[in-house]
Structure 1
Amino acid sequence: MTESTTTPLTSHAMASIGPAWPSSTHCANEQPASSTATTSDQLDRLVRATVAAATGGVSPATLWLAGLDWAAHLVVSPGKQYGLILQGLRYVQDALTAAPSVHDAQADPRFRDADWQRWPFRWLRDTFLGL
């Protein structure tokens, strides 16, 4: 595994990132980026750009409200709750009672280490190969 190096967050590093959107467009209540922007402004822009990249440009508040809406509907749907609980229990039961794999685990080079013969690694291997 290689080690990654990170650059400290400096005003020079933030300035090299550039604007989060084309410089020809900007929000009505926000000034376009300029070379005189303070470090705190640059940090705000960096965080907003990171959040936008992580959420696909969708507002985090919108995602939170969608999750809250789903949870509120689930709370008043005992039949759905029961069905989801049964489905989860079936998954757990299938995973715990999985038949030993028909694949030859010793032939697979990923599982040659002796630790794969001990629990819980044996169970993980057999469950993985049984899929």
Structure 2
Amino acid sequence: MTATIKYDEVEVGQQIEPAEYNVRRVDLVMYAGASGDYNPIHWNERFAKTVGLPDVIAHGMYTMAQGGRYVTDWAGDPGAVVDYGVRFSSMVVVPDDDQGATIRVSGVVEQKLDDNKVVVVLTAKSGDSRVLSKARAVVRLA
């Protein structure tokens, strides 16, 4: 786990080190089992293409979870996120190869609030596409 970030060490406008999360089809199958979302667009290429998708796509909630993971890794505390919301703006297309897809997440501290909380604005991209928009987390720091 990362060292715990302290409220007094954070400034408005501070950039958070970007992170990359690899997504392979096996990850989507495991996520389907955990979430109960077995929609074949998330694991069956033939089906995904018959409904007009370019290929298998990651679950939206899986993509959102990578943003949450990014923030909790940065804060150094899995319970630090007190509010988190996003809009889904594009798909994460996951090809059937060893590389899969990559979700790149970065963040900036937008605001400092009372009670050791900060607002972090996230940017999440896969390829050239922004996959989450209006992504914000309220994080309570040490």
* TM-score, normalised by the number of residues in structure 2: 0.21
Larger proportion of strand: 2
Greater Rg over alpha carbons, structure: 1
Larger proportion of helix: 1
* TM-score, normalised by the number of residues in structure 1: 0.22
> More relative contact order in 1 or in 2 (CA 8 Å, sep 6+)?
2
